[in-house]
A and B are shown apart, each in its own frame.
Chain A
Amino acid sequence: MPRKPIPPNRARHFGRRTFLADVGMGLTGLALGDLLLQDGIARASEAQAWSLPDGRAHFQPRAKSVIWIFLVGGMSHLESFDPKPALTEFAGKEIGDTPHKDVLEASFIQDNLRIVVPDDANGHIRHKLFPTQIGFKKRGASGLEISDWWPHLGACADDLAVVRSMWTTDNNHGAQLQFHTGRHVLEGQFPTIGSWIHYGLGSLNDNLPRFIVLGTPIADCCGGIGAHGANYLGPEHSGVQLGVDPQNPLPFAAPGTDVYREEQENQFALLDRLNRISAVEYPDDEDLRARIKSYELAFRMQTAAPEVVDCDAETKPTQEMYGLHGKDTKTFGRHCLVARRLVERGVRFVQIFHGSNGGAGAWDAHGNLKNNHAKLCAQVDQPIAALVKDLKQRGILDETMIVIGTEFGRTPGTQGTDGRDHHPFAFSVVMAGGGLKGGVAHGATDALGFHAIEDRHYVTDVHATVLHQMGIDPRRLAVPGRKRLAIDYGRPIRQIIA
């Protein structure tokens, strides 16, 4: 039972009647969670003195869960969601020799960039333009343009909201952490978007943690577990890593092969009996009551956690849809399918990492971008598309917000002979579901895809959009003594909200 850190004094506020009612009800958390959603609106207000969030939405939420997919290393916006014919037109030319040379003079370069490693081999402006490595097509009724490396997701175009005008400030992979906390790595570590959701919203399912991480987290170089951490909110708000191996999804999920299931079941039964004998003696002890429940839940979680990651329970067509049997798609497909199973069961925030490789990340295509991105897109395109379609066919896309992000885009100019360098000045983020519009491209970059120029959005605008759809006003979550800047809050991208 994930419990908010209620100070002991306050925690003891519940009386004996609550105790009896609770034990009778069993899964109080679930019931309460449902009530909260129905109720919709919490009492908290900036007009009151600060207190711990009570787990209720601040206003009517549009979404109840988020699936946050992060492509580690920096996916090229120019070969995915932001077509730039000028790159091919001026391929091989220096930017300064093209009609678009003014991009080099733009104030964004001075104003936004914050360099961590000054003389690094990477993270530079590359001047010689590199042609787009893949074709684009207009897709769906909306005609949203998406590259040919994304045929499956392209088929979902009418459900997608693409933001083409993202920017960040770190020209190196600390931007991975930044994408999740909203702060440049030099400013330290801060709570992440998932932890804010966890901090602000109650549980919908007490069999499972509210904030779950799938896939290998980003490497220590670039934020490490900080990218799903909670920092000053406290570690209980951090994401819980769940393995997709049903044998071992959680720490201490099973006792080892020399223990029998029946043996352990009887132990649980005896423990329950003994704790309930204690409960007669300590009728006011809600920790005891919580502990009795936590053991019930642990017992169920031993089954629930392996169960929720067990994709064998899915039909063959569903497995096929996610590519569970494809060589390229099987790993990430499993993560996406498990994500769906998690949100179906009420998990609030599922964060999936793709491309972690112990270093900068697989998407970091400094060379041979064509092969690199073709291969990686083949791993993620079908599973992500399956996720969109599957949620939709199950009628829960509306209440599930999908975000597909990456730390930065890639340079319009070429690095080496066939790669693109880090590019913090422009990149794309794709969202779907959760009460957002479909078939829209919002914001724009210049002709070279160099700078975000129309409706520019810093990464926290994505956070703000997520929080808004989840019914949370982040200003009401601010913790005294932890000053947040206006940029930390961002602004919801209203143009893509349905």
Chain B
Amino acid sequence: MRARLLGLLVAFAWLPTGIAWAVDYAADVKPLLRQHCYRCHGALKQESGLRLDHVSFIRAGGDRGPSLDSNADQSALIQAVTGSGDIEQMPLEAEPLSAEQITTLRTWIASGAEAPDEPLPADPRDHWSFKPPKKPPLPVVDNPAWMTNPIDRLLAAEHEARGLVPTEPAEKHILLRRVYIDLIGIPPTPIEVRSFLADESPDAYRKVVDRLLASPHYGERWGRHWMDVWRYSDWDGYQAEVRESQPHIWRWRDWIIESLNDDKPYDRMILEMLAGDELAPTDPDTLRATGFLVRNWYKFNRNVWLDATVEHTSKAFLGVTLNCARCHDHMYDPIPQTEYYQFRAFFEAHDVRTDRVPGHIDTKTAGLVRVFDKKSDTPTYLFERGNEAAPRKDQPLVPAVPAALGGDPMQIAAVELAPEAYYPGLRSFVRQEELARVEAAVQQCETAMAEATTQLVAARKKLADFVASNQAAPTAEQQATEENAAATNSENTDSADEPTPTNTGPDAGQQQTDTKQVDLNAQVADAEASADVAEQAMLTAAAELVALRARIAADDAAFAVPPAENAADLAREASRAQRVWEMSRARRDVAQAQRELDTARASNDKAAKVDIEKIEKRLAAAKKARDDAQVALGKPGDVYTRFSPVYPSQSTGRRTALARWIASPNNPLASRVVVNHIWMRHFGSPLVDSVFDLGNNGRMPALPTVLDWLAVEFVEKGWRMKPIHRTIVTSAAYRMASTSANESNETLDRENVYLWRMNPRRMEAEVVRDSTLAVAGSLDTTMFGPVLDQESGMTVTRRSIYFRSSKEKKMTFLDLFDRANVTDCYRRIDTVVPQQALAMVNSPLALAQSRLLASRLNEQLAEASSDDDRFVSAAFERVLCRAATVDERDACLKFLDAQAQRLADPAALVAFAAGGTSDVKPSGDPRQRARENLVHVLLNHNDFVTVR
């Protein structure tokens, strides 16, 4: 019917106007009105007193009277959309309707404006998710196995009401693999499988679940899920230029993993992510959490940055598409455009900064990136039609949350920060590192000074000795003594400088004596200059230490609460000490340059001559600096260098207020959104299909009682996730098989909306890579730390969560398996494309791990390693966590035989011409190589990437 109708519509485009056909209200008219008219004439707004979202309202009309007339062209509705009569053409500020659309309306009116009986549209303010969740009563159900777990009772009631029969429990090995991958992101080892199969105690499964939830891998597995939702991205940009997100943001990733492993309450996590800087301003561990906001940093446009902040804060925590209200009032939810900008106002003051971390002076190489309120008085304006060039400056907005969402009353209180928070230079490690640095410099200078002094003393002694020896004509004895002395001294002097006297005559002897004295004089002068420079350097270092201590003392006094009485004195002292130091440093630079210049001038080396001009310039500059420093020293002053920037001492408290409003038991959305995300990741399908939109335009939950029970339970259990995981994965529902031959269920609920069986799923990108490494025994389980180079993912065997992932900097292997889109990933997509097959067949990762695993399996089999049958069993257990069936075993054994034979004759084979060759070479033994091939095939098996 629809196809035919549209055929007509399309045909109509090429025909003259005036051809009439049947128009259907529900199919043709209502959607058109919904799209173009409801925004101003619907449940949320009734411009001119007119509503168009129900045929009774259309007939009744608005301030102008009825909208319809038996003569279509006389109808106010037609006049409005055509802009005829005295009505301004509608829709206002939007594209007019097309001729086809107007014809549709006209035809409908002309044919009597018929419409089926429909209930009046609901008020969007009464939307289910805007009301706080309540725990539903738990029904009594027939199946006793489904009476223990509240989720089961709620689900079983749905099953019974619909005539659905829940599927049998999954086989134990399937369940174990499912729950391992689900909770820690890697499959169980054969030993773990066997011990679970052997454990017949009633709490065998519960023990496994407890162990997995306590595993540090839980935080890595679920950390990656929340990084999807919270839009984790490493920095991106052009070469070294950062354009989006920030370097060092990996600390937020570590915070996520740690928080999950600690089972930190989710309400606390929200508080820390949105306002960690206000709640724990001096705690670097908490400050990491604000990476959630840092991630939105965008170099080119503050509005793009804040738009992302608003959009994703509301989607991630509230499941509300606030972004739809940026340019106009929200079309579906009762959120006027003003509230979009009022929500933005919570973030208006905030900015991003990088604080020093212990061990790193330069924040470029390492640092703590976090947010802070930079300009508390920045006003927020509504942008007309979302156009940043058209801010409504006459109406500055105050922060507020969308009124329709209810929740607690908003209370904003500014936060006074501790000095250490707004002036990170006060932190003890900064001072300790500075002191250590300068003290080391002092020590180094003292050593250098001592050496230079020794040299000077030696040079002077040599000169004095020489002069003395020449004044008294030496007897042969004396001469011998002197020579001995010279020999002794030569340990400290360069004997090469001392030509052996050769007596060729009295004149020659005098000449030699003169030359020698000039030489020795020069040596003394040089040693003096050296000593002078060393002394200047030492004085400078000492002055720096004095200045440093004075600065610390001045800081202590200035930032004490209340400031110390002698703060002003100490500031002047620090200022003076600093200027003394600067003066000393300038003198040192002069001495240094002077010495270099002297050396260069004295040198016969051509290269040194070339430098003279440069050194002269440097010397002149140093002298000027010295003179300036001298002048500065003579002036009074209390300015000295701080140990870091000093930021505002007050934070607006807006973000804390917002976070408290979100993370409140009275917020109707926060707990529903989070349990929906958790549910989706356990079952492969969410309770509310539109996971980031629980508003009027989102989907209705198919199982509202389950959603609300979990939401309330979550809050009652202190917003902790682990109890929710435990409740879910120990339910009978979770433990069902994912397969079913139940035709009746299929007919009744083909899409498995009511969960009468488990949903099989494909591993996420990271799980594919991590599990490949894990089953091969190669996974490096080191946790945390700086982000790893994305290009090294084929050879570095850390878990995938630790590799760089941003818009452009990403690991190809993960990309092919649908890694999280860093722009927006509330839900992973899950494709099956041949590029994935190529990655598992040809990547150096898959090739290397197959070869390694084949050899490790041999080691495990020890003396049985020659038995192909045992090898096949071991390979299936390790890679697929199950035994091989008879058919499979048969196929594999035949393969091993045939493949080994074929490989035994390499001359008959053709090698590939290209590809990224792995460092791990194939075995030289054809039988072993065939086994490597078999392991590789199992890694490509559907049962490997599938979680059943």
Binding site for B on A (CB under 8 A): 1-3, 5, 7-10, 12-13, 15, 41, 43, 45-49, 59-60, 116, 185-189, 219-221, 224-226, 231-232, 234-236, 240, 247-248, 250-264, 266-268, 270-271, 273-275, 277-278, 281-282, 284-285, 287-288, 290-292, 294-295, 297-299, 301-302, 480-481, 483, 486
Which residues of B are found within 8 Å of A41, using beta-carbon distances? 3, 6-7, 10
B823 interface residue per 8 A CB criterion: yes
Determine whether the beta carbon of A278 is less than 8 Å from that of B812.
Answer: no
Residues from chain A with Cβ under 8 Å of B327 in the complex: 483
Tell whether, in the assembled complex, residue A258 and residue B6 are in contact, meaning their CB atoms are under 8 Å apart.
Answer: no
A251 contact from B238, B808, B821, B839, Cβ within 8 A: B839
Binds A, one of B265-273, B612-620, B754-762, B855-863: B754-762
Q: CB of B864 within 8 A of chain A? A: no
A263-B899, A277-B891, A295-B834 known; A252+B843 contact, CB < 8 A: yes
B residues less than 8 Å from A260 (CB atoms): 903, 906, 909-912
B937 and A274 contacting across the interface, CB-CB below 8 Å? yes
What is the CA–CA distance of A260 and B816 in the complex, to the nearest angstrom?
25
A295 lies within 8 A of B818 (CB): no
Given the known interface contacts A8-B684, A8-B761, A252-B838, the answer about A271 and B940 at a Cβ–Cβ threshold of 8 Å is yes
Contacts of B198 in A (CB 8 A): none
Nearest B residue to A285 via CB reads B760
- Chain B residues 319 to 368 lying within 8 A of chain A, measured CB to CB, are 321, 323-324, 326-327
Closest chain-A Cβ to B694's Cβ sits at a distance in Å of 13
B912 touches A257 (CB 8 A): yes
Q: Which residues of A contact B945 (CB under 8 A)?
A: 291
Residues on B with beta carbons closer than 8 Å to the beta carbon of A43: 2-3, 6
Q: Does B148 contact A (CB under 8 A)?
A: no
CB-CB < 8 A to A268: which residues of B? 841
Q: A264-B841, A270-B934, A301-B834 are in contact. Are A259 and B751 (CB under 8 A)?
A: no
B818's contact among A47, A236, A290, by CB below 8 Å, is which?
Answer: A236
Within 8 A of A (CB), among B772-789: none
Those of B889-948 within 8 Å (CB) of chain A:
891-892, 895, 898-899, 902-903, 906, 908-918, 921-922, 929, 933-934, 936-938, 940-943, 945-946
Determine how close the nearest CB of chain A comes to the CB of B126; give it in whole angstroms: 21
Contact A252–B891 (Cβ < 8 Å): no
Contacts of A292 in B (CB 8 A): 942
Is B887 an interface position by the 8 A CB rule?
yes
Nearest-Cβ distance from residue B29 to partner chain A, whole angstroms = 9
In the complex the two chains form, is B847's CB within 8 Å of A256's CB? yes
Q: Assess the B35–A46 pair: CB atoms within 8 A.
A: yes
The interface stretch among B529-537, B589-597, B797-805, B824-832 is B824-832
The answer to whether B697 touches A256 (Cβ under 8 A) is no
Docked-complex contact A47 and B31, CB < 8 angstroms: yes
CA distance A270 to B899 in the complex (A): 10
Closest chain B CB from A223 CB (angstroms): 10
Q: Are B32 and A266 in contact (CB under 8 A)?
A: no
**Cα(A179)–Cα(B501), bound, Å:** 86
User: Would you call A270 and B912 a contact (CB within 8 A)?
Assistant: no
CB distance from B719 to the nearest CB of A (A): 28
Q: Which residues of chain B in 35-87 are interfacial with respect to chain A, using CB atoms and an 8 Å cutoff? A: 35
* A288 CB to nearest B CB, Å: 5
The answer to whether B759 and A8 touch across the interface, beta carbons within 8 angstroms, is yes
Q: Do residues A271 and B697 form an inter-chain contact, with CB atoms below 8 A? A: no
The reply to whether B750 and A188 form a contact with Cβ atoms under 8 Å apart is: no
**17 A-B residue pairings within 8 Å (CB atoms):** A8-B761, A45-B6, A60-B10, A187-B301, A188-B298, A220-B808, A256-B918, A257-B914, A257-B917, A260-B906, A260-B910, A264-B912, A270-B937, A274-B938, A288-B946, A298-B835, A483-B324
A259 to B912, CA, bound (A): 6
Shortest Cβ distance from B802 into chain A, in angstroms? 21
CB distance from B477 to the nearest CB of A (A): 80
Chain B nearest CB, measured from A266 CB (Å): 6
**Interface presence of B27 (CB below 8 A):** yes
> Closest residue to A49 on the B side, CB-wise?
B31
Judge whether B472 is part of the interface by a CB distance below 8 angstroms: no
Q: Is B746 an interface residue (CB 8 A)?
A: yes
Q: Is B528's beta carbon under 8 Å from chain A? A: no
Q: How many angstroms between the C-alpha atoms of A273 and B942 in the bound complex?
A: 11
Q: Are B2 and A275 neighbours in the complex by a CB distance under 8 Å?
A: no
Residues of A within 8 A of B199 (CB): none
From A5, A7, A10, A188, B301 is in contact (CB under 8 Å) with A188
Contacts of A60 in B (CB 8 A): 10
Q: Determine whether the beta carbon of B838 is less than 8 Å from that of A250.
A: yes
Interface: B481 (CB within 8 A): no
Decide if A254 touches B891 in the complex (CB within 8 Å): no
Question: Which residue of chain B lies nearest to A233 when distances are taken between CB atoms in the complex?
Answer: B821
Question: How far is it, in angstroms, between the C-alpha of A285 and the C-alpha of B945 when the chains are bound?
Answer: 13
Q: Judge whether B917 and A186 touch: CB under 8 Å.
A: no
Q: Which residue of A lies closest to B30 (CB)?
A: A47
Identify which of B238, B386, B761, B945 gathers the most chain A CB atoms within 10 Å of its CB. B238
**Whole-angstrom CA separation of A430 from B301 in the bound complex:** 33
B834 touches A297 (CB 8 A): yes
Chain A residues, Cβ within 8 Å of B914: 247-248, 253-254, 256-257
B667-697 interface with A by 8 A CB criterion: 684-685, 689, 693, 697
Known contacts A255-B841, A255-B842, A294-B834; is-contact A48 B818 (Cβ 8 Å): no
The listed residue (B35, B689, B837) touching A7 by CB distance below 8 A is B689
B204-222 CB contact bits vs A (8 Å, 1 = yes)?
A: 0000000000000000000
B753: chain A residues at CB < 8 Å are: 9
- Interface presence of B833 (CB below 8 A): yes
Contact of B28 with A by CB under 8 A: yes
Interface pairs A-B: 9 shortest CB-CB: A256-B917, A298-B837, A254-B915, A256-B915, A298-B834, A247-B914, A5-B829, A260-B909, A220-B238
5 further contact pairs, Cβ within 8 A, besides A251-B812, A252-B916:
A43-B6, A188-B301, A254-B842, A256-B916, A299-B837
A487 to chain B, nearest CB (A): 11
Task: Specify which of B689, B909, B922, B937 is in contact with A267 (CB 8 Å cutoff).
Answer: B937
The distance from the CB of B891 to the nearest CB of chain A, in whole angstroms, is: 5
**CB within 8 Å of A: which B729-761 residues:** 739, 746, 750-753, 759-761
CB distance from A221 to the nearest CB of B (A): 5
- Bound-complex Cα distance A284 to B239 (A): 48
The reply to whether B321 and A481 form a contact with Cβ atoms under 8 Å apart is yes
Does chain A have a CB within 8 A of B169?
A: no
User: At the interface, yes or no: B836 with Cβ under 8 Å from chain A?
Assistant: yes
Give the complex CA separation of A480 and B698 in angstroms.
10
Which residues on A sit within 8 Å (CB–CB) of B830? 5, 8
**Do residues B917 and A263 form an inter-chain contact, with CB atoms below 8 A?**
no
Known contacts A277-B891, A291-B832; A261 and B760 CB within 8 A of each other: no
A231 with B823: CB separation less than 8 A:
yes
Q: How far is the CA of A136 from the CA of B469 in the complex (A)?
A: 97
Q: Considering the chains assembled together, what is the distance between the CA atoms of A185 and B299 in angstroms? A: 12
Q: How far is the CA of A277 from the CA of B239 in the complex (A)?
A: 50
- How many angstroms from the CA of A224 to the CA of B7 in the assembled complex? 42
Q: Does B885 contact A (CB under 8 A)?
A: yes
Which residue of A has the minimal Cβ distance to B902? Answer: A262
The reply to whether B808 and A224 form a contact with Cβ atoms under 8 Å apart is yes
A266–B891 touching, CB < 8 Å: no
How far in angstroms is the closest Cβ of chain B from A210?
11
Complex Cα gap A221–B753 (Å): 47
One of B750, B835, B911, B937 near A258 (C-beta < 8 A): B911
Tell me the complex Cα distance, A117–B389, Å.
Answer: 17
Interface positions, chain B 632-679, Cβ under 8 Å from A, are: none
Residues of A within 8 A of B697 (CB): 480-481
Question: In the complex, are the beta carbons of A298 and B304 less than 8 A apart?
Answer: no
Q: Decide: A252 near B834, CB < 8 A? Known: A262-B910, A278-B942, A480-B697.
A: no
Contact with A along B580-605 (1 / 0, CB 8 A): 00000000000000000000000000
| A12/B751 in contact, CB under 8 A | yes
Q: Bound state CA distance, A3 and B934, in angstroms?
A: 29
In the complex where A253-B838, A255-B912, A271-B937 touch, is A284 in contact with B739 (Cβ < 8 A)? yes
CB-CB < 8 A to B298: which residues of A?
188
